[in-house]
Amino acid sequence: MGSSHLRPPTAMAIRARLGFVILLLLFFSATLSAALYEDQVGLADWHHKYIGKVKHAVFHTQKTGRKRVVVSTEENVVASLDLRTGFIFWRNVLGKNDDIDQVDIALGKYVVTLSSGGSILRAWNLPDGQMIWESTLPVSTPSKSSLYVPANINVGKDNLILVFGGSSIHALSSMDGQIVWRKELSIDSLEIQQIFQPHDSDVINAVGFVGSSEFVVYHISYRTGEVMQQSKASFESGFCGEASLVFDNLVVALDASKSSLVSISFKNEVINFHQINLSDLVPDFSGKVTLLPLKFNGMLAIEIASSIHLLRVKGANELEFVEKISHPFAVSDALPLSKEQQAFAILQHEESKIHFKVKSDNDLRNEILKETIQMDSHRGNIEKVFINNYIRTDRTHGFRFLVVMEDHSLLLIQQGEIVWTREDGLASIVDSTTSELPVEKEGVSVAEVEHNLFEWLKGHLLKLKGTLMLASPDEVAAIQAIRLKSSEKNKMTRDHNGFRKLIIVLTRAGKVLALHTGDGRVVWSVLLPALRRSETCGNPFALRVYQWQVPHHHAMHENPSVLVVGRCGHGFDAPGIFSIVDSYTGKVQNSLMLEHSVSHIMPLPLTDSTEQRLHLIIDAKLQAHLYPKNSDSLKHFFNEMPNIYWYLVEVEKNKIRGYSLENKAELDTAEEYVFQAKELWSIVFPSESEKIAVTATRKMNEIVHTQAKVVADQDVMYKYISKNILFVATVAPKAAGEIGSATPEEALLYAYLIDTVSGRILHRVCHQGAQGPVHAVVSENWVVYHYFNLRAHRYEMSVIEIYDQSRADNKDVWKLVLGKHNLTVPVSSYSRPDVMVKSQSYFFTHSVKSMAVTATAKGITSKQLLIGTIGDQVLALDKRFLDPRRSVNPTQSEKEEGIIPLTDSLPIVPQSYITHSLQVEGLRSMVTIPAKLESTTLVFSYGVDLFFTRIAPSRTYDSLTEDFSYALLLITIVVLVAAIFVTWALSEKKELKEKWR
């Protein structure tokens, strides 16, 4: 009866196959992937580009086509911005020490930058930012230097670019950067103040001072550099070095006493001095005087006691007071409107308003333009303004202003409106921390989030199409757009996986901003009043930001807050500044000027009853101050005081000292929160052979899942886990310089593992022929450090793992069963450590800018090292590659354990760049934040740019990927269930038919 003939597939079989195929497809779509697919870029990561605080700006608007402004910044970026939107056309980040002195446009097509103290001149192509040429100038000592690009419009002629600094002038061809001539004005202590070219002449004039009392004028041939005429005269009461060119033959300078102006007229080798007392000019003259470098015909601006005085120069001995503008203000450079007319802008702050005034040199009493705009208070005062003009539709002059604010943000203002703003303070992040978002309130329904059901269904249908590869290119784009703006990741509430957080950053300008991890938008920002320049604090300096209050038990209704610590001045003994900011709203809750200095800040693992974290501030006199100052925190602190130890690394003295705290003998109530340091230990590195290069510690909040490590053949090793491990690397002083400055014999690198409670050196190892720069990262029981091996001519990475031998006996199950183990015995740093150290070194191709390690919520997931490469990318390297137990031929059990066969160098897998194709320009630091989902770490890296992503070092083993199509799963189930019923009905029918046969 067995049917051997082939039958066409039955309906049921087809359906079953279809189900199988659908399911297979489903699973392939959900396959866990390690690398990123092209269409996944931007789903979980974001990249923001910044440029930093603008120093110089040159507009390029004459030609038709794209209107742009070329800027150079304090982060050494030269960039071209779209004048209409503020977007970056292109940008180039110069090296860390390559400060840009000046920027200009030559020939109408090259951007010329002078950098490194006047020693490097580069030309960049204006449309795309490609470098055209670079020229290194032989400058003996880097000094104040400037650039002079002749503005005559004879394009096509090979115009010369003049660079002058100190006592020399270089002329370079603007076509190829060749030095055409070089003139060394061989007079000692000559400082050229101004260089200028009278209209339509081949002679350039250079004026300057020799010493403090002599004034010099040179007439130099523009083509050859030949000195055609030279005149000199001395002025008996001397100059202070500041001068301003008013006319082509008149310079006004400040005299040595800074109480009078000297007008210097020069014509045909005759130099005349004319002294004018400032008190005669300015009504109530007193205070410090500075001359503003305003390049303006017939005008002079002097700053006296933080207000600006405009003076008009009518002749060599005739000056006239025009106007006084009080602080805060900004004055732009002069802008030529026509051949005869010049204009300049004065901006004045008045509470939340900014008044814009544009004046021309024809009529100083009246303004060409007068506008007022409202400005947010969180941008601070105006710092700089650049002005540009355009022709309005009615043929009059219109002006646009590029404004740099106190918080380093950049604004373009036109017609009394802010056209665009750039939050460029974010290019100079000093420190960062994170804050959880508020818990989602009840009553927020899905409908509100998902707009409506139809949209939701449509979205899922599109996704389904995409998954089944049926979508057209337009639909693919639509899917991508839906994914990118999926409201889920940008919500302002806490999520189940802990992906949504606020990153709170502190910038160099003293501004605190909260960034949403979903898309990096600024949720709130505040320019801290305490960190703004004021009468009491002339030079504030932002230091760190810490979590101050993280309510989770007792104070649930309160918002979390962060503590911002600053210093009033750059010295270690400058008084400290404290500011507490609400993490959800950005409101400054408390702000105070400390009476003591801040040299070291220690967040303690203690909180008071309102969950404010206790902080110890160590001042320059080594006194510890406890914050918050309340009796409750003092009570908590006293309980733990005998167990508080701290250390200071004194890099200049080559010492590390450990301290404990003691009560002050005299218990003054005011001094209740002040404690004395007691030196417990010190480590002195011999200054002739070692110099501290780097120190690294474990992160305070790192969680280690297990102390035991099961190695091959089911043996157990116990990790030496101590929060008090300090890694120190010292290098030979001879080899402390750049790579290649020392021979391999001279170079030595010592690595130390130090217990910071007892000051014990747990391990000390010497690498011969190795030198810095050293970068290190410490986690759990291991440290990885990166250095240069001079013998092998390569970079190297070493790992040291440290194991606790005193617990090694606890392998016996019976001991554990009978409780005869010492695993629950408290560990004391005073016990003699019994440690075993394993180490290994590997070659590594890249040089490194910074290193970090991933951190997860429970510490179960394996670790990855994050390496900031020289190309400003972030590379994730599995810690397993840096296992000291790797051997050439691992045994079977070792292979099972996951030990990789030994290689001499560490692999760099292109897919493991977490920044994929992007560059985090000027990368300085990487911060890892554990998500609630154990497999996932959030990575925030910053430099000039910001980059955020989330990574799963062991892949997302505990969740489905975000683009997992639930709708498809649902539909499949429905289809299958329907199919079952249909076939069941069919079979019933058929059975019935069979029975009736």
Partner 1 sequence: MGEGWCRGRSLALFALVILLPIWIARGFRSDELLQDDEEFGLEGGRPAADPELPTNPFRPPIRRKPDLDLPSGSADSKSVQFSLEHNLGASEFSPAGTFTARLKSWSHGGQTLTKLRFSRNALTEEEKGAFERLLKEDGHYTIRVPSNVLNPSGEDYVVSSVRARCIPRESLDEHFVIHTDGVNIIAVNYGSAGACQYPRLLRYPAKWSFTSYTVLKNSEQAPRTPTFAEELLAGEDGLGEGVKPPEKSFWAKYWMPSLPAGSNYFYYYCCEKKIDRWLHHMPECCPKEALALFLLC
- Interaction with partner 1 in 822-851: which residues (CB under 8 A)? 825-828, 830-832, 834-837, 839-843
Residue nearer to partner 1 on the CB measure, 332 or 789 = 789
Which position among 39, 280, 573, 991 is part of the footprint of partner 1 (CB under 8 A)?
991
Report the residue number, 453 or 766, with the smaller CB distance to partner 1: 766
DSSP assignment string, 916-970: TT---TT--EEEEEE-SSTT-EEEEEESSSEEEEEE-TT--TTS--TT--HHHHH
Tell me if 122 sits within 8 A of 130, measured CB to CB.
no
- Residue window 290-309: x/- pattern of binding to partner 1, with contact defined by CB under 8 A: --------------------
Question: Among 82-90, 544-552, 582-590, 982-990, which window interacts with partner 1 (CB under 8 A)?
Answer: 982-990
**Per-residue binder mask for partner 1 (CB under 8 A), 848-867, x = binder:** --------------------
Residues between 747 and 786 that touch partner 1 (CB under 8 A): 750-751, 754, 758-761, 764-768
* C-alpha to C-alpha distances, 803 to 120, 729, 839, 867, 896, nearest whole angstrom: 52, 20, 11, 25, 22
CB closer to partner 1 out of 75 and 878: 878
Output the 3-class SS for 684-723: ECCCCCCEEEEEEECCCCCCCCCCEEEEHHHEEEEECCCC
**Least separation, in Å, of the C-beta of 691 and partner 1?**
13
Q: Minimum CB separation from partner 1 for residue 624, in Å? A: 16
Q: Tell me which stretch binds partner 1 (CB under 8 A): 125-133, 401-409, 617-625, 684-692.
A: 684-692
Number of residues that bind partner 1 (CB under 8 A): 93
CA 785 to each of CA 749, 750, 788, 848: distance values in angstroms, whole numbers, following the listed order: 11, 11, 10, 10
Helix, strand counts (H, E) of the chain: 10, 64
Q: Is 683 in the site for partner 1 (CB under 8 A)?
A: yes
Question: CA-to-CA distance for 839 and 852, rounded, in angstroms?
Answer: 19
Q: Between residues 266 and 795, which has the closer beta carbon with respect to partner 1?
A: 795
Does position 789 bind partner 1 by CB under 8 A? yes
Cα 796 to Cα 774: distance, rounded to the nearest angstrom: 10
According to CB under 8 A, which one of 232, 898, 974, 992 is a site residue for partner 1? Answer: 898
Nearer to partner 1, 448 or 904 (CB): 904
How far is CA 778 from each of CA 341, 545, 945, rounded to the nearest angstrom?
64, 22, 26
Binding flag, residue 801, partner 1 (CB under 8 A) = no
Q: Which is nearer to partner 1, 95 or 642 (CB)?
A: 642
Considering only 391, 439, 665, 813, the residue that binds partner 1 (CB under 8 A) is: 813
Stretch in the footprint of partner 1 (CB under 8 A) among 306-314, 322-330, 504-512, 674-682: 674-682
* Dist CA 627 CA 616 (whole Å): 6
Amino acid of residue 156: G
Q: Three-class SS of residue 25?
A: helix
Is 665 a binding residue for partner 1 by CB under 8 A? The answer is no
Stretch that binds partner 1, among 113-121, 415-423, 505-513, 807-815 (CB under 8 A): 807-815
**Which position among 636, 811, 821, 846 is part of the footprint of partner 1 (CB under 8 A)?**
811
Alpha-carbon span 483 to 476, nearest angstrom: 11
Q: Which of 108, 529, 686, 737 binds partner 1 (CB under 8 A)?
A: 686
Closest CB 237 distance from partner 1, rounded Å: 50
What tokens appear for 177 in the block? 């950067």
Work out which of 394, 470, 904, 993 binds partner 1, going by CB under 8 A.
904
Find residue 354's DSSP bridge partners.
349, 373
Applying the rule CB under 8 A, the residues between 556 and 615 that interact with partner 1 are none
Asked if 690 touches partner 1 (CB under 8 A), the answer is yes
> Residue 228 corresponds to which amino acid?
M
Which of 572, 679, 708, 737 binds partner 1 (CB under 8 A)? It is 679
What order do you get walking across the sheet with 782-789 strand by strand?
A: 770-779, 782-789, 794-804, 835-844
CB of 82 to partner 1, least distance (A): 41
Nearest residue (CB) to partner 1, 125 versus 682 = 682
Around Cβ 546, how many Cβ atoms within 10 Å?
17
- Amino acid symbol at 352: S
Tracing tokens 């300008």 back to the chain, one arrives at 509
Q: By C-beta, is 355 or 880 nearer to partner 1?
A: 880
In the complex, least distance from residue 20 CB atom to partner 1, rounded to whole angstroms: 5
> Could you tell me the two tokens for 27?
């699973």
Q: CB nearer to partner 1: give 321 or 830.
A: 830
Count of residues making up the chain: 997
Give yes or no for residue 990 binding partner 1 (CB under 8 A).
yes
Residues 785, 848: Cα–Cα separation, whole Å: 10
Mapping DSSP to helix (H, G, I), strand (E, B) and coil, where does residue 632 land?
helix
Chain positions 180 to 199 lying near partner 1, rule: CB under 8 A, are none
Residues 876-895 that bind partner 1 (CB under 8 A): 878, 880, 888
Distance of alpha carbon 414 from alpha carbon 399, whole angstroms: 7
Question: Does position 982 bind partner 1 by CB under 8 A?
Answer: no
Compose the 12-51 pattern: x for residues touching partner 1 by CB under 8 A, - for all others.
Answer: xx--xx-xx--xx--x--xxx-x-----------------
Residues whose CB is less than 8 angstroms from the CB of residue 258 and which lie 6 or more positions away in sequence, other chains included: 240, 288, 289
Which 909-968 positions form the footprint of partner 1 (CB under 8 A)?
909, 911-912
Among the listed residues 679, 686, 685, the one whose alpha carbon sits nearest the alpha carbon of residue 658: 679
**Which residues pair with residue 709 across a beta bridge?**
717
**Least distance to partner 1 from the beta carbon of 929, Å?**
24
Of 178 and 911, which CB lies nearer to partner 1 in the complex structure?
Answer: 911
Nearest CB to partner 1, comparing residues 454 and 814: 814
Sheet holding 561-568, edge to edge: 540-549, 561-568, 575-582, 588-597
Tell me the β-bridge partners of 850. 868
642 binds partner 1 (CB under 8 A): yes
| Minimum distance, C-beta of residue 626 to partner 1, in the bound complex (Å) | 21
Per the listing, tokens 């757009």 go with 481
C-alpha angle with apex 650: 644 to 656, nearest 5 degrees?
A: 50
C-beta closer to partner 1: residue 471 or 749: 749
SS3 554: coil
Token output for 102: 């000046």
> Is residue 903 near partner 1 by the rule CB under 8 A?
yes
